[in-house]
Amino acid sequence: MTIKVLVVDDSSFFRRRVSEIINASPALEVIATANNGQEAIDMVIKHKPDVVTMDIEMPVMNGITAVQKIMASTPVPILMFSSLTHQGASATLDALEAGACDFLPKKFEDIARDKEEAITLLQQRIQTIARRRVYRVTEKTAESVHTSTSHSVNNPSARKSITPGAALTALQRANERQQISAKSTLNSNPSSAPVAATKPMRTKASGKSYKVLAIGTSTGGPVALQKILTALPSDFKLPIVLIQHMPGTFTKAFADRLNSNCRIAVKEAENGDILRAGCAYLAPGGKQMMVGPNGQIKILDGSAALNYKPSVDITFASLSKSYADKVLAIVLTGMGADGRDGARLLKDKGAEIWAQDEASCVVYGMPQAVTKAGIATESIALEQVAKRILVELKHE
């Protein structure tokens, strides 16, 4: 069945160029175009597309506001186009928080080695997010995400802290809700093909000891990481290593945003940084990040042949050598299988590997890879990951 696409951009040249690329695939069809956010809202209601591609800077109504309104009324998977600037990165992160599924640079040559690769990437990205179930996001929630979290950082008492006891109770309740929800879904629509069920999560620590927490992710990662990291206390016991597939001009803006929203410290990793507890280090885009046995970070250019820069596999592999079984590694939402090979090396050394469950992923690619390979010991819903981490670490 053909995937129907709405293309939104104020540039007639870009609308035409994107439409040509999309229509070149027999699986895709551009059913309409719009030149501003308000037109996009009207077209979504009229044409009911399967996917929307959205520019950010447009007259009448910008892309971020359009995303907020679309996701509040007629939710649909949205792919943002962004400029590779600090300002463009900040606006793109706003759009992702508002409900957009993913983003691509407007200059395709910035993410592809040649024209054919760029065409394939765009077509594949649209097909991938078209399969994603999206949910209504209220405008009030979307508009207040950044403001409310920033306010809570400035006023720590206003932000609810998760204690070990509270985390344990929340996990137990989540398990109960999960079982009830699964029964309800099967009873109400037994002929449907449900998302693979997530096993009830452990509500007790495994008893292992750790020296570092490592998290790898791609599509859907910015929102997922923010949800997890903002729930961690300022006295978090471990250093955190973050690998997010993202362009080089985006990672500094993303790290700064996380730092302003979280109680822990968050920074873009730099060559020579030494891991310290309560601080998260985000791998810089366009580079590879490795961690030595003394906790020293190495930032390298890496091979041009590698598909991902940064690569989860590369960082996980370095941690397997430096920290062996003292690593708690988590693979979150994302396309492809990056992280599987590195996670296997960690598991061979005795490390603990978790994966995000299918139902809460934007794209169930990377977590599925480690789960299908039998590497992940747990499959966890996104909203429970932070609580599960605190229970595992017996945080006090």
Give yes or no: 395 in active site. Answer: no
Give yes or no: 47 in active site. Answer: no
> How far from each other are the two terminal CA atoms of the chain, in whole angstroms?
52
DSSP 104: E
Residue 210: count of CB within 10 angstroms of its CB:
20
Locate 100 and state its tokens: 């957009």
Rg of the chain (C-alpha set): 21
Locate 13 and state its tokens: 């040249």
Nearest to 251 by CA among 217, 277, 214, 292: 217
pLDDT of residue 146: 42
Locate 84 and state its tokens: 């590779």
* Secondary structure (H, E, C), 17-61: HHHHHHHCCCCEEEEEEECCHHHHHHHHHHHCCCEEEECCCCCCC
Give the whole-angstrom CA distance, residue 10 versus residue 91: 17
Selected catalytic residue, list 9, 55, 146, 245: 245
Give the whole-angstrom CA distance, residue 229 versus residue 232: 5
Q: In sequence order, which residues have a C-beta less than 8 Å from that of residue 9 and are 6 or more positions away?
A: 15, 18, 33, 35, 53, 54, 55, 58, 81
Give the whole-angstrom CA distance, residue 337 versus residue 294: 29
Q: How many CA atoms lie within 13 A of 39 on its CB side?
A: 16
CB-CB contact of 102 with 111 (8 Å): no
Phi-psi region of 25 (alpha: psi -120 to 50; beta: other; left: phi over 0): beta
Locate 264 and state its tokens: 């822990």
Selected catalytic residue, list 82, 83, 218, 360: 218
Query: Phi and psi dihedrals of 82, rounded to 5?
Result: -135, 150
Question: pLDDT tens string for the chain (396 positions)?
Answer: 899 999 999 999 999 999 999 999 999 999 999 999 999 999 999 999 999 999 999 999 999 999 999 999 999 999 999 886 667 788 999 999 999 999 988 876 555 556 788 888 899 999 999 987 776 766 554 444 444 333 333 333 333 344 444 444 444 444 444 444 333 333 333 333 334 444 555 667 888 999 999 999 999 999 999 999 999 999 999 999 999 999 888 999 999 999 999 999 999 999 999 999 999 999 999 999 999 989 999 999 877 667 789 999 999 999 999 999 999 999 999 999 999 999 999 999 999 999 999 999 999 999 999 999 999 999 999 999 999 999 999 864
**pTM recorded for the entire structure:** 0.79
pLDDT of residue 232: 97
Question: 329 has which bridge partners?
Answer: 214, 353
Nearest to 142 by CA among 35, 89, 78, 70: 70
Selected catalytic residue, list 94, 102, 338, 357: 338
Give the whole-angstrom CA distance, residue 96 versus residue 302: 28
pLDDT of residue 206: 85
User: In whole angstroms, what separates CA 363 from the centre of its chain?
Assistant: 9
Give yes or no: 338 in active site. Answer: yes
CB-CB contact of 56 with 95 (8 Å): yes
Nearest to 129 by CA among 94, 78, 83: 78
